[in-house]
Amino acid sequence: MKKNFFIFLFIFILLPIQVWAEDTSGLDVDHDGLTNSEEINKYYTDYLNSDTDGDGYFDGEEIAKHFSPHAKAKTLSQYDLDGDGLSDWLEIQFGTNLNNYDTDGDGFSDYNEVLNSYDPLNSKPIKLPQEIIIDTTKQTLTAKLNNISLVIFPVSTGKAGYETTRGEYEINNKIPRAWSKTYGLWMPYWMSFIGSQYGIHELPEWPGGIKEGQNHLGTPVSHGCVRLGIGPAEWLYNWANIGTKVKVK
């Protein structure tokens, strides 16, 4: 009799409780468009509150529109839940944990790993592929790691008659401050990618210290090189390695 009771207890009470408990992760109890599991394990939102940051928009709606469900009027790119320097948007792209600054537990933060092109999901020092995309139509340069866009900068490429040649290349040399004999000017943060003649560099400087204006960025005015602004040129120079792929389209 006692044995039958326990069988009864298991089949009709404990088993359904167990099944119910397992199933809740796939449910969306607050009806905000995210499953309980996504809220608990991926986005760190309140699975019992459809609007975690109280801004009037559902958590799922915010994620779908690239807004942060944690902060009012901030996009996922503008918010950094764990404060490691890597935005929630990039954490989602790389598959790292939004709420843990060191997802793979190797002592290096997700931000540091991505900035130095290491895989933030693997505790071994594995490098991810870098790529630079130069869009001559949009006049932009995009730095990609593992095919994920890290940053987009405005550039100035070759003007009519001197167009930067489309194609696939790679960085073949880096010089912190190169001198152009042809044009008699300095090209800070020089990285050549078409032979030694064409490269990416900061806005040129004339002898005497006069620098080409920032307002040229976004307009093709160069003789074929790719000009970057103050700040972005240094960032890219430090980020890219010799051998980094460069695609001009």
Residues of the shown chain interacting with Ca ion in the complex, contacts defined by CB under 5 A = 28, 30, 32, 34, 51, 53, 55, 57, 80, 82, 84, 86, 102, 104, 106, 108
Cα 42 to Cα 166: distance, rounded to the nearest angstrom: 40
Q: Which is nearer to Ca ion, 74 or 201 (CB)?
A: 74
Nearer to Ca ion, 98 or 200 (CB): 98
Sign of CA dihedral 190, 218, 131, 80: positive
Query: In angstroms, what is the minimal distance from the CB of 175 to Ca ion?
Result: 32
- What CA–CA distance (Å, rounded) separates 33 from 188? 49
Instruction: Provide the minimum distance between the beta carbon of 53 and Ca ion in the complex, in angstroms, as a whole number.
Output: 4
CA 96-98-102 angle, to 5 degrees, is 60
Q: Taking the complex as a whole, how short is the minimal distance between the CB of residue 37 and Ca ion, in angstroms?
A: 9
Q: How far is the CB of 109 from Ca ion (least distance, A)?
A: 6
Q: Among residues 14, 24, 79, which one has the least CA distance to residue 52?
A: 79
111/4 Cα distance (integer angstroms):
58
Which of 75, 80, 33 has its CA nearest to residue 55?
75
